[in-house]
Amino acid sequence: MLPQITDSHCHLDFPDFADELPDVIARAQAAGVSRMVTICTRLKNAANVRAIADAYAPVFWAAATHPMSAAEEPMATVQELVDLAKHPKFVAIGETGLDYHYTRESLDIQQESLRIHIEAARQTGLPLIIHARAADDDMARILAEEHAAGAYSCVMHCFSSSAELGRAALDLGFYLSMSGIASFPRSTELREIFASAPMDRILVETDAPYLAPPPHRGKRNEPAFSALTAAVGAEVFDMPFAEFAAQTQLNFDRLFAKAAAWKPS
């Protein structure tokens, strides 16, 4: 039996998968990917994402307003997110965060949206999923300010930021998620950041359909390929693959406790 892992972040509602979703999920399971969390990035699409989780036992879901669309979408409310969280397979608030690389002009709106999502994570007890790009100082500051105002749990999804932001997140008790970026040949510094992190705070993901690891780089990513990233993670931590996979499963279960407790009806 293959070691089991979880793709903690993918986008199965994207058009890239529309014509073959059952096959994509079947390939993931065949690769040892026993669970997937599919992420809704615009709340108006929540019903579509929820339907995927309802249709496929291995799939859970989360929702938020993505920072890059925060200026285009109605501002989310805490109550709206709390209501979504009542679904039995809704397991996290996200992805939210800050992205100043493409959308710096909306930074004030992004920061307001982020704080709303953090409060929803507090009220629901669900983990927050953070997208951070080119905004390390503001991200570290807001995460720390909000954590001091009231604790919450969090994963830095597709972590590829600075060592300083990684350490700030870890110091708050948060998790770092390893994507295909960590397997790129030029990502030596990023692998070093992961290697210095506690092993019990590491997750794996694809961010599919983006960021496929070698040998699929440049092509569509899919949840099955998270096994390839996990293999790189095992090398980074100098662990047998089965041991690394088992530890990331424990980590996922600890952070995503609602997914770990879910049983099919």
Q: Given CA atoms 64, 13, 38, 224 in this order, what sign does their dihedral have?
A: negative
In-domain check, residue 182: yes
In-domain check, residue 36: yes
The two tokens of residue 82 are 């709390």
In-domain check, residue 166: yes
Helix (H, G, I), strand (E, B) or coil at 213: coil
243/245 Cα distance (integer angstroms):
5
| CATH number for the domain harbouring residue 14 | 3.20.20.140
- What are the pLDDT digits (tens) for 13-25? 999 999 899 999 9
207 is in an annotated binding site: yes
Total count of domains within the chain:
1
Mean pLDDT of the chain: 97
11 is in an annotated binding site: yes
Mean pLDDT of 53-73: 98
In-domain check, residue 264: no
Mean pLDDT of 217-225: 97
The fraction of the chain above a pLDDT of 70, given in percent, is 100
95 is in an annotated binding site: yes
- What are the pLDDT digits (tens) for 85-144? 999 999 999 999 999 999 999 999 999 999 999 999 999 999 999 999 999 999 999 999
**Helices 136-149 & 163-171 angle (0-180, nearest 10):** 10
pTM: 0.97
The range of the structural domain enclosing residue 206 comes to 5-257
